[in-house]
Amino acid sequence: MKNGLIIINCIILTIGTCGGPLLTRLYFTNGGKRIWFMSFLSTAGFPIILIPLLVSFLSRRRGNRNPNNAENKRKTKLFLMETPLFIASIVIGLLTGLDNYLYSYGLAYLPVSTSSLIIGTQLAFNALFAFLLVKQKFTPFSINAVVLLTVGIGILALHSDGDKPAKESKKEYVVGFLMTVVAALLYAFILPLVELTYKKARQEITFPLVLEIQMVMCLAATFFCVIGMFIVGDFKVIAREAREFKIGGSVFYYALIVITGIIWQGFFLGAIGIVFCASSLASGVLISVLLPVTEVFAVVCFREKFQAEKGVSLLLSLWGFVSYFYGEFKSGKKVVDKPQPPETELPILPVSDYVA
């Protein structure tokens, strides 16, 4: 069951990590200018989580053979989350909303390749925060993976100065660069914070509960961005922006908006799903290894330059990915193969022929 969840979360995280930045950049390069609106879309797809939550609720109700039992009543509630976990999810959600704004601001002025290499630096910070917050244990394989992925991102940075779009000013480029750096640092803190929340929760963490946490986080992040949209007046200009969109007009614009919201939801759900099934470091490693893949798609979709450094970075990232998960496989195998202590056997008492 756990392996199946890991595979599913890896798939949707892959789609979100690669598709989210590309769709967001597609919006900005074809006439879209609303940064708060893009931040809003990063988490606005949370209502789709209600579908698996409803399925889980109905399944619990059908499997409840003793509805009068207090424990069964608790498990068959519509929502499992208790108040402390609800408050923690709101706080993390507000931080996520801020992170969405910082990242969207960066994508408005930076190529996907440059943005990806900056976001890739989050792995080093993620490892540090994971060690400080949840006492993450490192193996030679995980350390090797962090080093390889960090070096790969550093190699990408060698030619980042030549990626500045011609229509962007130097000031816009620098501000976008700094915003993306802060976004990477903040998200590197958020993932271990989610794992710490799981560990400190005073209730059993199940996958349906993880879905509830994700929904509350996204709801808080979306509310944060809606306030920003009201302040800058995004709601007044969306219809006009749709009519003036460079490709496909209004129909394509609204289709892009819906798909972008769904894809980004996959990213966030996959990320915290990996944290639940494995660790925040595993989630950070998978995100980092997918960034060079995103760069390849950016080269194909937006005709961005693909220097030799990007090819080397891609190979190092794949090497780091294999190193990390090979180490996890070996660690899991050691646990499975570890001999269990023999059970204490009671001596067999002889049967007496005496008949009372």
> For the chain, first and last CA: distance in Å?
55
Q: Residue 5 sits in which domain range?
A: 1-56+79-331
pLDDT at position 319: 81
Residue 241 included in any domain: yes
Nearest to 133 by CA among 214, 194, 181, 216: 194
At residue 63, does pLDDT exceed 60? yes
Greatest mean pLDDT among 170-174, 263-267, 305-309: 263-267
Residue 338 included in any domain: no
At residue 345, does pLDDT exceed 70? no
Percentage of the chain beyond pLDDT 90 is 28
pTM: 0.80
Give the integer Cα–Cα distance in Å for 39 and 222: 8
Give the integer Cα–Cα distance in Å for 52 and 210: 11
155-169, 175-189, 207-221: least confident range: 155-169
Using one digit for the tens of pLDDT, what is the confidence trace for 13-47?
A: 999 988 998 999 899 988 888 999 999 999 999 99
Region 155-173 average pLDDT: 68
pLDDT at position 55: 84
Residue 64 included in any domain: no
Count of domains for the chain:
1
At residue 82, does pLDDT exceed 70? yes
For the chain, the average pLDDT equals: 81
Query: In this structure, which amino acid lies at residue 14?
Result: T
Q: Kindly report the backbone phi and psi dihedral angles of residue 81, in degrees, each rounded to the nearest multiple of 5, phi listed first.
A: -70, 135
Q: Is 273 exposed, middle or buried (0-12, 13-18, 19+ CB in 10 A)?
A: buried
Residue 66 included in any domain: no
Residue 315 included in any domain: yes
Residue 346 included in any domain: no
At residue 349, does pLDDT exceed 50? no
Residue 83 included in any domain: yes
Tokens of 101: 């704004």
pLDDT band at 163 (very low <50, low <70, confident <90, very high): low
At residue 350, does pLDDT exceed 90? no
Nearest to 28 by CA among 161, 178, 172: 172
pLDDT at position 252: 92
Q: Kindly report the backbone phi and psi dihedral angles of residue 82, in degrees, each rounded to the nearest multiple of 5, phi listed first.
A: -95, 170
Residue 84 included in any domain: yes
CB within 8 Å of 13: residues ≥ 6 apart: 266, 267, 270, 271, 273, 274, 283, 286, 287, 290
